[in-house]
Amino acid sequence: MTAWLGTFTLAAAFCAALVGAALWGRSATTGGAAPARWTVVLPLVGATASVGALETALLSHDFAVRFVAENGSRATNAYYTVTSLWAAHDGSLLLWVLILAAYLCFVGVRGHRVPLAGTSPALGRWAVAVLAATTAFFCGLALFTGHVFDTVSPVPHDGPGPNPLLADHPAMGIHPPLLYTGLLGTAVPFAFAVAGLITGEVGPRWLAAVRSSALFAWTTLTAGIVMGAWWSYAVLGWGGYWAWDPVENASLMPWLVLTALLHSAMVQRRRSALPVWNLSLAVAAFLLAALGSFLTRSGVVSSVHSFAASAVGPVLLGFLAAVVVGVALLVLLRGDRLATPEPVGPPLSRGSALLLNNLLLLCVTVVVLLGTLFPLLVQTLSGTEVSVGPPFFDRTAVPVLVVLLLLMAVGPSMSWRGDTLTTVLSRLVVPACVGAVVVVTLSLLAPTGPLTTSALGLASVVASSTLLDVWGRVRRRRVQGSGWPRALARWLHEDRRRAAGLVAHLGLVLAAVGIAASSAYTATYERTLRAGEQAALPGGRVELLSVGRHRSAQAMSTQARLRVTSGSGAVVTEPALRFFPGRGMTVAVPALVSRVGGDLYVTLLSSQGDGQATVRISRKPLVGWVWAGGAVMAAGGAAALWPGRARRRPPRQVPEPEVRAPEPVP
């Protein structure tokens, strides 16, 4: 019954989205009345009911459903039973459909109630039609290739449960839905970009719709990426948080393009420039998000994040090709209807700096895309397996990101009208002095590679430049008799969008400092000890107190108890190794001791039966700043999304007509 209900509701969502796409497209073409609201609500209702049916099967341990038989277990607690819906390919595709249907409902209902003022009704209706067609495609993908509600016979008594790596940390309930929300959020600006191509409307109201949806996608994608990095760091036991994995890159590339779109949207808003550029970025962000789904679900790349090979891969590749061809045809047929762009401004202006920012971000995106797809292309053409590892990306993408830090220090200090070189340099005197002090201090006290030193120096330049900018703006709003807090509140109220952008910049600075410091100054030591034995470490000692073994219904665990002593005191850590017989998998569970200055990261590598253990101890300075920086960036995006209070303008005074006395008749 559960399998039948899930299949039926998923089919209903597919049919409703398909009919909705046709009705909204017909309305946009003919100019008739907007379709009924059920055309955007019913896909969400159907997708929600389908997800609810699968969750019911998981929680009730209905092993007659194949997905439950392969991913469920009676020994798994309720939280990880619920999250196991997106622990495997078919269930995660169902979550993908649910989130996309929610976007369709929001855009359709909002457009139904509040048309885009200043534009024709066709723009919003075409956007809903494109989004409905996209939803129908993914509903069909889940319905015809996913087979999530297939049944098995005979019905097993129990299942293996989800992948142990996905049932060992609470981030499993937050990271995948958050990441999917960000990736699928690119479908909304994509829909408005296609609608803009069809109607030729890429003006201010179109830009407002694209910017707000892109900002929401960027904010959730930022939070999802950073949480995924933290989860990888805390669970996998390898001591890192970013490995330039193909699926990691697949989430980074849309983020880079969305970042470029948000910056170039400011240029169009202020200078009426770059409308076609922004339209292209909106399309590219969605294409890269869909490419990430292909890499994850096709099985063509080897990754801890990817699913097994399935029939979804070729269909997704065909969808990508159809979108590219369709957009190219629209550009050829409708390109002449787009507005003629204005210049971005003089060379030394904020518009030019933002355009350069876009070019650098796209340069990084292209480098990451080539490094991600190159092994796949070589294997397809020649059958030879090659790999592109972190050294390639560190040598190609990272230097461009360091240059972006320099541009972040210079760009916000420029005016839109343009400045002279002397004016720009004078604004950078104090930040440049701060950066020079940081570089000299690091070179003398903690020498490292020039790239790391440059990154930390430029991060300090950006931070000081941003803080000086904030201080100057707050000072100009401080009137006699009022304090600094009131002036700050006044600036935040009057210029909330710029304040949110500066907060996001400071978050990026924190993350850059954490990445550079934890990469360059991490110290790692391996020691093999017996119970009660001590070993020296630079600046401290480590002692193995005991080694214990435990057995549960799903796993066998070996846990080491160590005391690590350093200048800041002694801490007791308990890293472990867990072996899951049902999966044939061994998982290292690291022990973390986090402080503001850095983390102590202890991993149990192996253990012998005589109470001997091999451990790895790492000191990772400022690694927590990576997570803090990501949180600050997401907070800046959320602040920019927060609706501001509408300014009430006084009613316009219409002068009364002058009444003149009638002239005497001669």
For residue 588, give its domain range. Answer: 523-624
Residue 301 reports pLDDT greater than 70: no
Give SS3 for 501: helix
d(CA 273, CA 342): 5
Whether residue 487 contacts residue 478, with contact meaning beta carbons closer than 8 Å, is answered with yes
Q: pLDDT value at position 386?
A: 78
d(CA 59, CA 77): 9
- Give the least confident one: 249-263, 375-389, 390-404, 597-611: 375-389
* DSSP letter assigned to residue 305: T
Alpha carbon 369 to its chain centroid, in Å, reads 16
For tokens 């989205």, the residue is 17
Whether residue 95 contacts residue 37, with contact meaning beta carbons closer than 8 Å, is answered with no
Token pair for residue 471?
């201080």
Residue 507 in any domain: the answer is no
Nearest Cα to 601, choosing from 576, 626, 575?
575
Share of the chain above pLDDT 70, in %: 92
Handedness of CA 420, 425, 430, 431 (dihedral sign): positive
Alpha carbon 304 to its chain centroid, in Å, reads 18
Residue 653 reports pLDDT greater than 70: no
Domain count, the chain: 1
d(CA 249, CA 283): 18
Residue 336 reports pLDDT greater than 80: no
Residue 534 in any domain: the answer is yes
Q: Which contacts (CB < 8 Å, 24+ apart) does range 502-505 have?
A: 502/412, 502/466, 502/469, 502/470, 502/636, 503/632, 503/633, 503/635, 503/636, 503/639, 504/632, 504/633, 504/636, 504/637, 504/640, 505/408, 505/412, 505/462, 505/466, 505/636
The whole-number average pLDDT for the span 442-468 is 91
What is the four-CA torsion angle of 143, 149, 154, 159, rounded to 10 degrees? 120
The model's confidence at residue 358, banded by pLDDT at 50, 70 and 90, is: very high
For tokens 């072996």, the residue is 579
* DSSP letter assigned to residue 236: S
Residue 613 in any domain: the answer is yes
Number of Cβ within 10 Å of residue 590's Cβ equals 21
The whole-number average pLDDT for the span 636-643 is 88
- Give the least confident one: 276-290, 293-307, 325-339: 293-307
The model's confidence at residue 663, banded by pLDDT at 50, 70 and 90, is: very low
Q: pLDDT value at position 478?
A: 76
Q: pLDDT value at position 652?
A: 41
d(CA 538, CA 521): 14
Residue 245 reports pLDDT greater than 60: yes
Q: pLDDT value at position 299?
A: 60
What tens digit of pLDDT does each residue of 22-70 get? 999 999 888 877 888 889 999 999 999 999 999 999 999 999 999 999 8
Share of the chain above pLDDT 90, in %: 52
Element (H, E) at 370: helix 350-382
What tens digit of pLDDT does each residue of 69-85 get? 988 989 889 999 999 99
Handedness of CA 47, 48, 53, 54 (dihedral sign): positive
d(CA 598, CA 259): 29
Indicate the length of the chain as a whole number: 666
Token pair for residue 356?
């350069």
The whole-number average pLDDT for the span 222-238 is 91
Between helices 390-410 and 450-476, what is the axis angle to 10°? 30
Number of Cβ within 10 Å of residue 493's Cβ equals 12
Q: pLDDT value at position 58?
A: 94
For tokens 């904020």, the residue is 350
Prediction pTM value: 0.92
Nearest Cα to 176, choosing from 215, 231, 129?
231
Residue 359 reports pLDDT greater than 90: yes
The whole-number average pLDDT for the span 444-454 is 89
Token pair for residue 377?
């292309």
Token pair for residue 22?
């046709």
Rg (CA), the chain: 28
Residue 379 CA: distances (Å) to CA of 373, 374, 386, 391, 565? 10, 9, 7, 20, 50
- Please name every residue paired with 548 in a beta bridge, in sequence order, or none if there are none: 559
Residue 629 in any domain: the answer is no
Residue 572 in any domain: the answer is yes
Residue 427 in any domain: the answer is no
Residue 611 in any domain: the answer is yes
Q: What is the DSSP string of 435-497?
A: HHHHHHHHHHHS---HHHHHHHHHHHHHHHHHHHHHHHHHHHTPPTT--HHHHHHHHHHHSHH
d(CA 581, CA 554): 7
Strands 556-566 and 540-551: antiparallel
Residue 125 reports pLDDT greater than 60: yes
